[in-house]
Amino acid sequence: MEPEKKRTKEDTWKSDELKKHLRVSQSDSQSEDKKQKEKKLQRDRKTHDMVDYKGYIHKDQDKDRGKAEERTSERERFKSSERDRDKLRDRESGKDHHREREREKLKEKDQEIEGEGPEKEKHITRKDKEKVSDKEGDRKYRRDDLKQMLIENNLKASGGRDKEQRRRRESKDQLEQANIRDDVKERRHTERKVKEGKKSESKNSLGEFLTKKDEEGGHRHKSHRDQELNKDRGRSHIDKREHSVRGGKERPSKERSHGLFVKDGEEKYVSRRRKEGSSIEDRERQLSKNNEKRQREENERKKRDLKNSEHKKQGKSLREEEETSLQHERNARDKGKSIEREKKEDTSQRPHQGEHVSAWKPMQRQKREEEPEIGDNYLTNYEDDFEDYEDDFDDDDNEDNDNEARDSEERLREIPVSKKSEIEEIQRAINAENERIGTLLPKQIKKKSEKEPNMERQDSSARGSLCGMFMDFETANQRQSSQIMATKQKKRSSELLRLIDLDFSVSFSLLDLPPVNEYDMYIRNFGKTNTKQAYVQSNEDNLERDVQTDEIETLEKWTQHPGDSVLVSGGPRSSNGVSTDIVVTPKIDSQRLTNFLRSACQVIAVLLEEDRVATQPRWNLRSRQTSLSISDSCFQLNTNLPFLHGRKVSCLHISQVQRQALLSVHGLPEKPGAIQLDRKYIVCVWNVWQPSSPQKVLVCEAEVSCCCFSPSKATLVFAGTMDGSLVVWDLREDSRMHHCVKLNGTDWIFRSPTFSTDGILSSLNHTYPVLAIEPVSTSVYKEQNYGLSHLSSQEEMSGLSFQIASMDENGTLNLWVAVELQKVDLAGSQSDLGLIPGGKVKLVHSSTVQLNSSLFPKDILCLRKPQTLNIKFLPSNPNHFIVGTDIGVVSHGARHDLRVPPKLFKPQQGGPRSIRANAVDFSPFGKPIFLVGCSDGSIRLHQMTSEHPLIQWNDSTNGQPVIALQWALTRPAVFFALDASSTVYIWDLLENDLCPVAKQIIQSDKVMTMVVLGEPEKTNGLLGIALAKQSGIIDIQYVKKRWALPQSEESEKLQLLLEQSL
Amino acid sequence: MTPCRYRASSYNMGTEAYVPRPDDFFPVRFRSSAVKECIHAIMKENLANVQYNPEETPELTQSLSETIKDRLKVEGFHRYKMVVQVVIGEQRGEGVNMAARCFWDADTDNYAQDVFMNDSLFCVVAAFGCFYY
């Protein structure tokens, strides 16, 4: 129960209430009179209210009475559970006591009725007195009440306090129900008590004050009170009291015996006192503010009261018993403590009764000093127990008050009416004071409850000083010291502020926490909540990336071209390898190797053949078969080839530079064979040292009338056709560009022309059959060194810096420039239409000379237009050329239209006549002389400076037309002639300048043409003639040494001879 | 945001002589880094596994501020008056901005602050040291 009570206490002192209370108390202290007036007004108002209230209660009380009897039985049960054993023990006696008390009260009331005379004021005062006495009983009830209350409803503590008060009142009413007469009075009395209940505490203390006053005049009153008490109480109680008085010194032991009980009671008092303090205030407030509320609560309260009343009765009896038992000790203590009590009252009264307080203050201190001695054990730890003691005092006060009240009642009874007015006045004054104190007391109590007695003292002292009546030196000292401190501080700060600068710092950012966005919050809280993450696979992230192109693999390699050694290529094997890995074995291209071997074989074969020729072992062997009288040896070029069957050789040509290279032109076969080439003309390139097969086989659509090699190197073959076109073959071309035919187990490559003027350049082209084609060297050096300089000049001529002269039978001389293209277009050229795809050489027209108009004089031309048959360029000066005609004369021309004498080279006799100059040939030894062979069989030897011939042989061939005529290459004075009857003549001018030295008739076959071959550079004296026969056989006859080998000073002899002939 | 609790504690040596600058007599200057370390250690120690609880936070702030203040006293900033401010708030994703501004002698006075955060709370401790001349 204790803690519950304490809690109620705490609840009671809620902070706001406290504040209000403080405010009120302070304001009260200042405006006390005002408050008093207000309170009086309130009181008056309440008396009006009470009239209604009384009636109300009256009805209820009838009901209550009926119920009260029922509850007595209940009470018994309750008691057993709630009360201590001691209480149970004491109950019986308590009941008796209760009965006694009731009796006593009845008496009192009777007296009151008597006393309640005409004056209302008196009545009131009497009532007050009565109330004082009632209060004693009330207190007891209240205590029980509280117990019950706390059990039933702790929560309603603060609200219930008021009710409690009323309950108390009503319970008292119930107690007094028996006295119906007094009902009305009693009720009024209770209502008064509602007002004055708050003052009860102060009244008590005031009562004490009064008693104290009485004490001043001797302890008469007290003794009287004791007597009264003794009288009122039963004998047993007196004994007890005596016992307790006796045992004042042995109190500790006694207390031990009562231990639990006493403590219980004390604590109850404590709580009650506090409650009273607060309740007084509460009551004051509530009463002033809401009387209506009170009425509302009345119903509840009554119900509760009915219940409580039993307990109260019971409690009261118990309580009384308790008190009586305790009374003894307390009374014993009272003597010492009453002083303290007075002191306490002084403190509370001090504000109002300044003189009083100041007078009392020393006393108070003195008493404080005394207390430890008096209080013995109790006061050893005064501060802690202060409260408790106070409670005790209060309790005692109450007891005393009760006693006092009773005394006063009794006094009232005894005191005559005349004195009553006096007493009433005193009481009125007391009441007024009580009211004032009542407002202050709670504050003190509160402060005590907060265990700040010092503060209280200071407060009160401060207040005292405010009033100017009380000097508190302690405070003054404090103030002074604080003032000193303040001045010190001030001084210090002023001194310091001179030394230092204070400034505002920049504001420091202590925390900058950015708001978390929604998603982060979700993620952060996800794990904490009762959730589970579900995954959905949408396959969106399953991206695939693919590259179709393969990684480019790179490797660094090097090559050397042309390869100096076997190491022609190499490079690091891997990308990061530093060491170079040299590829030693190059790849083998079998095709290329084959080609290489083939050409190499040819070269070797040629070399071997050359060696054989040089050593002549087989030469003789071969020549023996077809030996002629004029020749040492002879051999045939192998024309017994499938594609050459039945083809007549129409023309032969030998390169001027490479003497072994021979061209043979084959005409169409007489009877067409199965071979595709039947409609085509064939030109064969031979190496005379390798007669077994032609080096190259060239094919042409048109009939080839004449052909020649390129002047410097036998790499190009030019041919004029009967169509008037020129064709060029580049012998260096790859064989794969051309048609390959396999004939009798051998691959033959038939080369088509690289370039042909057929169909293009129509305005410039020949319109007549081309009869002669000659290479023209542009270099002039040949003049200085003939013959021997050929080799040296070869390389210079390799740049194709030469022209080709072509002459048709109409006398048109065209000069062409052979151009070698730098770029090869395998797809065929758009602009050069005559060029074979992949071809590199083409002919560009340079100039055209109409020989007929320029070369021939008008007298000749007037007869008929002469036909040009052949043309030869002067080897020493290519600008000069001679043209053989069909009128027996040879005209002399120059390329740049230079008129050079003699214009014509005429026969010795007669003018122009129809004699064809079939052959003209310059001497290869640089002399400006040439031979002319005519169709009438005459042979003329001309020199360039003379119009007429040096020598003319007319009947050397017996009138047979000379077909071919050519100087020997090794001897300047020897030449060969062929007539139409297939007779070969050998002339040696040094030996015989009138007729040929030898004559050989070739019976077997008709010789179509003849060409001289030989190597003037060599001294082995090989001089041969190639005879192309009608059957297609090409015979090569090496003439006998006596005509072939050059003789000493032959040129000079010839020169001499020529001079003689002039 | 939950209202923050703070408590300031002050400390006065009450010496009479003027020491205009900390270096003259007391080499222990209020060094921000050292104090921060101290604060950090204490916070780490006391708040490592603490969950925010509005009931307990006021006491926590109080005890924390006292602990830090006492520690700083032990550290020996003898001529300094310490003001330790502790703010604990709940981490709920709201943005918080906290700043301080002082009227003081910037030569001698200084402050140190550190922030501690865990999942449920953040704690800002600012210790201001005012030189007592």
Please give the backbone phi and psi of residue A1045, each rounded to the nearest 5 degrees, phi first.
-75, 130
Distance separating alpha carbons of residues A977 and A961, to the nearest angstrom: 10
Q: pLDDT by residue (tens digit) across B22-47?
A: 555 555 678 888 889 989 999 898 88
- Higher pLDDT: B14 or A984? It is A984
Which range (A377-381, A710-714, A740-744, A840-844) has the least confidence? A377-381
Distance separating alpha carbons of residues A985 and A999, to the nearest angstrom: 5
Of A495, A511, A515, the CB nearest to B115: A511
Beta carbons within 8 Å of A750's beta carbon, 6+ residues apart: A643, A677, A680, A682, A697, A698, A699, A738, A739, A740, A741
Work out the minimum CA distance from A37 to partner chain B, whole angstroms.
48
Other C-beta atoms lying within 10 Å of the C-beta of residue A483: 10
For tokens 């010496």, the residue is B15
Cβ distance of B115 and A502 shorter than 8 Å: no
Cβ distance of B95 and A513 shorter than 8 Å: yes
Q: Are B99 and A509 in contact (CB under 8 A)?
A: yes
Distance separating alpha carbons of residues A952 and A877, to the nearest angstrom: 25
Q: pLDDT by residue (tens digit) across A335-394?
A: 444 444 544 444 444 444 444 444 444 444 444 444 444 444 444 444 444 444 444 444
Q: State whether residue A825 is helix, strand or coil.
A: coil
Contact residues on chain B for A501, CB-CB shorter than 8 A: 105, 107
Cβ distance of B122 and A499 shorter than 8 Å: no
pLDDT of the residue at A480 = 92
Beta carbons within 8 Å of A501's beta carbon, 6+ residues apart: B105, B107
pLDDT band at residue A657 under the 50/70/90 scheme: confident
pLDDT of the residue at A527 = 64
Please give the backbone phi and psi of residue A93, each rounded to the nearest 5 degrees, phi first.
-65, -35
pLDDT of the residue at A982 = 85
Cβ distance of A509 and B122 shorter than 8 Å: no
- Both tokens of B4, joined, read 């923050």
For tokens 């018993």, the residue is A321
Beta carbons within 8 Å of A426's beta carbon, 6+ residues apart: A210
pLDDT band at residue B124 under the 50/70/90 scheme: very high
Q: pLDDT by residue (tens digit) across A842-870?
A: 888 888 888 777 766 666 666 667 788 88
pLDDT of the residue at A482 = 93
**pLDDT over threshold 80, residue A578:** no
List C-alpha distances in Å: A845 to A712, A760, A773, A806, A838: 20, 11, 14, 11, 21
Cβ distance of A504 and B102 shorter than 8 Å: yes
Is the ipTM value over 0.85, yes or no?
Answer: no
Please give the backbone phi and psi of residue A275, each rounded to the nearest 5 degrees, phi first.
-60, -40
Q: What does the pLDDT average to over A277-296? A: 51
For tokens 């050359």, the residue is A610
- Which of A131-140, A404-413, B51-60 reaches the highest mean pLDDT? B51-60
The strands making up A681-687's β-sheet, listed across from edge to edge, are A649-654, A661-666, A681-687, A696-700, A746-751, A739-743
Work out the minimum CA distance from B112 to partner chain A, whole angstroms.
9
**pLDDT over threshold 90, residue A913:** no
Q: Are A274 and A157 in contact (CB under 8 A)?
A: no
CA nearest to A198, candidates A448, A441, A389: A441
For tokens 């306490």, the residue is A344
Which range (A280-289, A774-783, A911-920) has the least confidence? A280-289
pLDDT of the residue at A642 = 77
Distance separating alpha carbons of residues A17 and A993, to the nearest angstrom: 177
Work out the minimum CA distance from A452 to partner chain B, whole angstroms.
25
Helix (H) or strand (E) holding A80: helix A32-82
**pLDDT over threshold 70, residue A503:** yes
Beta carbons within 8 Å of A550's beta carbon, 6+ residues apart: none
Helix (H) or strand (E) holding A942: strand A939-943
Contact residues on chain A for B122, CB-CB shorter than 8 A: 511, 513
pLDDT band at residue A3 under the 50/70/90 scheme: very low
**pLDDT over threshold 80, residue A634:** no
Please give the backbone phi and psi of residue A759, each rounded to the nearest 5 degrees, phi first.
85, -15
Of A505, A515, A521, the CB nearest to B101: A505
For tokens 């020997």, the residue is A968
What is the Cα Rg of chain B in Å? 16
Cβ distance of B105 and A509 shorter than 8 Å: no
Q: What is the Cβ-side half-sphere exposure of residue A816, based on CA atoms within 13 angstroms? A: 30
The number of residues making up chain A comes to: 1062
pLDDT of the residue at A879 = 81
Tell me, what amino acid is at A239? D
Cβ distance of B104 and A502 shorter than 8 Å: yes
Q: Which residues of B touch A (CB under 8 A)?
A: 18, 20, 87, 93-108, 111, 113, 115, 119, 122, 124, 126, 133
Distance separating alpha carbons of residues A1001 and A979, to the nearest angstrom: 10
For tokens 């109080």, the residue is B62
Q: What chain A residue is nearest to B101 in terms of C-alpha separation?
A: A507
Which residue of B12, B102, B123 is the best one to mutate when testing the A interface, meaning the one whose CB has the most A CBs within 10 A? B102
Q: Are A865 and A853 in contact (CB under 8 A)?
A: no
Cβ distance of A510 and B103 shorter than 8 Å: no
Contact residues on chain A for B107, CB-CB shorter than 8 A: 500-501
Q: What chain A residue is nearest to B121 in terms of C-alpha separation?
A: A513
- Higher pLDDT: A797 or B64? It is B64
Instruction: Report the largest interatomic distance among the alpha carbons of chain B, rounded to a whole angstrom.
Output: 50
pLDDT band at residue A55 under the 50/70/90 scheme: very low
Contact residues on chain B for A504, CB-CB shorter than 8 A: 101-103
Please give the backbone phi and psi of residue A856, each rounded to the nearest 5 degrees, phi first.
-95, 140
pLDDT band at residue A940 under the 50/70/90 scheme: confident
Which range (A233-242, A509-518, A604-613) has the least confidence? A233-242
**pLDDT over threshold 90, residue A484:** yes
Q: What does the pLDDT average to over A298-317? A: 50
Q: pLDDT by residue (tens digit) across A368-377?
A: 444 444 444 4
Q: Are A533 and A526 in contact (CB under 8 A)?
A: yes
Other C-beta atoms lying within 10 Å of the C-beta of residue A320: 24
Residue A645 DSSP symbol: T
For tokens 């308590």, the residue is A94
DSSP character string of A147-161: HHHHHH-STTHHHHH
CA nearest to A271, candidates A161, A433, A379: A161
- Higher pLDDT: A249 or A952? It is A952
Tell me, what amino acid is at A237? H
Q: What chain B residue is nearest to A524 in terms of C-alpha separation?
A: B119
Cβ distance of B124 and A520 shorter than 8 Å: no
User: CA angle at residue A1035 from A1029 to A1040, to 5 degrees?
Assistant: 130
Q: What share of chain B in percent tops pLDDT 70?
A: 79
Q: pLDDT by residue (tens digit) across A995-1021?
A: 888 888 877 778 888 888 887 777 676
Residue A553 DSSP symbol: P
pLDDT of the residue at A153 = 47
List C-alpha distances in Å: A284 to A127, A195, A205: 20, 8, 19
Average pLDDT along chain A:
65
Cβ distance of B122 and A503 shorter than 8 Å: no
- Crossing angle for the helix pair A32-82 and A85-115, to the nearest 10 degrees: 140
Residue A378 DSSP symbol: G
**pLDDT over threshold 70, residue A486:** yes
- Higher pLDDT: A773 or A992? It is A773
- Both tokens of A469, joined, read 């009546």
Contact residues on chain B for A494, CB-CB shorter than 8 A: none
Q: State whether residue B129 is helix, strand or coil.
A: strand
pLDDT of the residue at A411 = 52
Distance separating alpha carbons of residues A776 and A779, to the nearest angstrom: 9
Q: Report the DSSP pairing between strands A696-700 and A746-751.
A: parallel
Residue A562: asked if its preceding bond is cis (omega within 30°), the reply is yes
**Neighbouring-strand partners of residue A1023:** A1014
- Both tokens of A1057, joined, read 């001879």
CA nearest to B127, candidates B33, B52, B44, B58: B33
Instruction: Report the largest interatomic distance among the alpha carbons of chain A, rounded to a whole angstrom.
Output: 225
Which residue of B12, B96, B111 is the best one to mutate when testing the A interface, meaning the one whose CB has the most A CBs within 10 A? B96
**pLDDT over threshold 80, residue A649:** yes
Q: State whether residue A715 is helix, strand or coil.
A: coil
The strands making up B121-131's β-sheet, listed across from edge to edge, are B80-90, B121-131, B110-117
- Which of A270-274, A733-737, B23-27 reaches the highest mean pLDDT? A733-737
**pTM, full prediction:** 0.42
Of A499, A507, A515, the CB nearest to B93: A515
Tell me, what amino acid is at A933? G
pLDDT band at residue B62 under the 50/70/90 scheme: very high
